[in-house]
Amino acid sequence: MRPLSVVALLVLAAPDAVGADLPRSAPEAQGVSSQAVRAFVEAADKDIDALHSFMLVRHGHVISEGWWAPYAAETPHMLFSLSKSFTSTAVGLAAAEGKLSVDDPVLKFFPDDAPAEPSANLKAMRLTDLLRMSTGQLAEPARKASEPWAKTFLAQPVPFKPGTHFLYNTSATYMLSGAVQKATGQTVLDYLKPRLFEPLGIANPTWELSPQGISTGGYGLSVRTEDIAKFGQLYLQKGKWNGKQLVPEAWVEAATARQTSNGSNPKSDWDQGYGYQFWRCRNGGYRGDGAFGQYCIVLPEQDAVIAITAGVRDMQAVLNLIWDKLLPALKPAPLAADEAAAERLARTLKALSLRVPEGKGTPAKVAGKRYMFPANDGKIESATLEPGGKDGELAVLLRIGGADRRIECGAGKWQKGRTAWGRLPEQPIAASGAWTADDTFTAKICFTETPFAVTLRLKFNGDEVRCESEWNVGFGSTKEAALVGKAE
């Protein structure tokens, strides 16, 4: 976690330069009480499992920031559908440069992938329909490795007149990414680097590619929390950054306006209208967001931006907490300095951590025993508990798909490492473990550049072990089938 001193909270930083991080300020100097921010952070820590990071920007200054260990300020985080708002920006920039128009037919960019006899509705589909998630399709087209994604999209029936039927459609965003690449000769990532990422000081962004070498568009971008905040601040400033108009103001206004209706529930932040790959919010705001709690929330009336990364199942709960705790705290004028409250806030932020397994049991005498599993979908062949670091810490040694994966588990803390798991490639992790019962060792493994964490339980009984694993979040079932292994 980034060290958060009281001095850092109380000093009013100078205006940011090109490529620099945002300036810092005490909350009170920007009209927000440290006590109110602390109430939000404590409520999030207690009631939401789990935020990974939080940054509040007011009047262009970061007034509060925190990372729940093992997540850290310098680490990029997978954005999922928050990526869509960046793809929208690429479309706006390409339109401003005359490379394309939002009124261009979609088929113009993909003649080789078009059906032999396109329907009238498909012929009528324009880029603006993709931007507004109003393609006219009844279901989102699949994205399979066996067929070009654009071809699959264009083969999907279009029963509704484009522009008349809202359907959240990640494949539509992929088509926007493909159109930008066809029009500019660059992936969305490469196209945005000199136009957006570099001017904002967003270093080393990464974006997944489709099998056809096109940025996935609707997901796949990874950047830091502060990069999310900068992007939101750029939009709050109507596309201007350090005196330069990076994104046309007209595009910012169109992209964040209500372009289409998507529901009428006054209590849902997913029913307030949709722009060009931005959601409208309650309370006059708008946002980009991604699965499991990745947020870039812009509040123009309050001159504020909120950036959040997370691994949560209930995304509405996060927004409800913001409206309940933070929104009323955004006052129109500076407040009197409150050093005591600032100190308490700093201590709270510095101590943030995801919950670790707590030890209750007496360790079973199984260290060094290797337990073999029958063939399974997860390709876990064996498991062994081995002595790890100091203080009686243990390591879980798994053999997965023919490769040994050693996971060092901190005791009451997070231990960094690297591993692969299932469909997740080798990447940074942090793990913590404890004997949660006399016969059960529980390890929690966070994939620290993603929203994902897996809890692994090894329950020992004589020469057998029962292995259970459950993910914190997922698009389907989060529980994997239990495995029973036998000691060699």
Cα–Cα dist 391/286, whole Å: 48
Would you kindly state where each structural domain of the chain is located, as residue ranges?
77-326, 370-487
Q: What is the mean pLDDT of residues 111-134?
A: 98
> DSSP secondary structure string, 155-181?
HS---S-TTS-----HHHHHHHHHHHH
Burial (CB < 10 A; 0-12, 13-18, 19+), residue 257, is middle
Please name the amino acid found at residue 89. Answer: T
Query: Tokens 């490379």 correspond to what residue?
Result: 99
Answer whether CATH 3.20.20.70 is correct for domain 77-326.
no
pLDDT digits (tens, 9 = 90+) for 148-169: 999 999 999 999 999 999 999 9
Q: How far apart are the first and last CA of the chain?
A: 42
Name the token pair of 484: 């029973």
Best CA proximity match to 58, nearest among 101, 35, 28, 78: 28
Quick check: 216 and 208 in contact, CB under 8 A? yes
pLDDT of residue 174: 98
pLDDT of residue 391: 72
370-487: same fold as 77-326? no
pLDDT digits (tens, 9 = 90+) for 433-463: 999 999 999 999 999 999 999 999 999 999 9
Name the token pair of 258: 């209500």
User: Is the pLDDT score of 464 beyond 70?
Assistant: yes
User: Is the pLDDT score of 60 beyond 70?
Assistant: yes
User: Is the pLDDT score of 128 beyond 50?
Assistant: yes
pLDDT of residue 20: 72
Cα–Cα dist 110/180, whole Å: 11
Cα–Cα dist 115/205, whole Å: 35
Residue 241 DSSP label: E
Position 198 confidence tier, pLDDT thresholds 50, 70, 90:
very high
Task: Give the rounded distance of the alpha carbon of 362 from its chain centre.
Answer: 38
- Within a 10 A sphere around the Cβ of 51, how many other Cβ atoms? 24
Task: Say what percent of the chain tops pLDDT 70.
Answer: 96
Q: What is the mean pLDDT of residues 290-311?
A: 98
Q: What are phi and psi of 48, to 5 degrees?
A: -120, 125
- Within a 10 A sphere around the Cβ of 408, how many other Cβ atoms? 21
Which of 60-74, 166-180, 351-365 shows the lowest per-residue confidence on average (mean pLDDT)?
351-365
Burial (CB < 10 A; 0-12, 13-18, 19+), residue 423, is exposed
Burial (CB < 10 A; 0-12, 13-18, 19+), residue 176, is buried
Cα–Cα dist 47/8, whole Å: 28
CATH level 2 (architecture), domain 370-487 = Beta Barrel (2.40)
Burial (CB < 10 A; 0-12, 13-18, 19+), residue 207, is buried
Q: What is the mean pLDDT of the chain?
A: 94
Distances from the Cα of 256 to the Cα of 280, 386, 486, angstroms:
7, 54, 58
pLDDT of residue 108: 98
Q: Residue 405 pairs with which residues in a beta bridge?
A: 398
- Within a 10 A sphere around the Cβ of 152, how many other Cβ atoms? 17
Read off the pTM: 0.94
pLDDT digits (tens, 9 = 90+) for 7-47: 333 333 333 333 479 999 999 999 999 999 999 999 999 99
Written in H, E and C, the secondary structure of 356-381 is: CCCCCCCCCCCCCCEEECCCCCCCEE
Please name the amino acid found at residue 179. Answer: A
DSSP3 helix / strand / coil % (the chain, rounded to 5): 30, 25, 45
Q: What is the mean pLDDT of residues 393-408?
A: 94
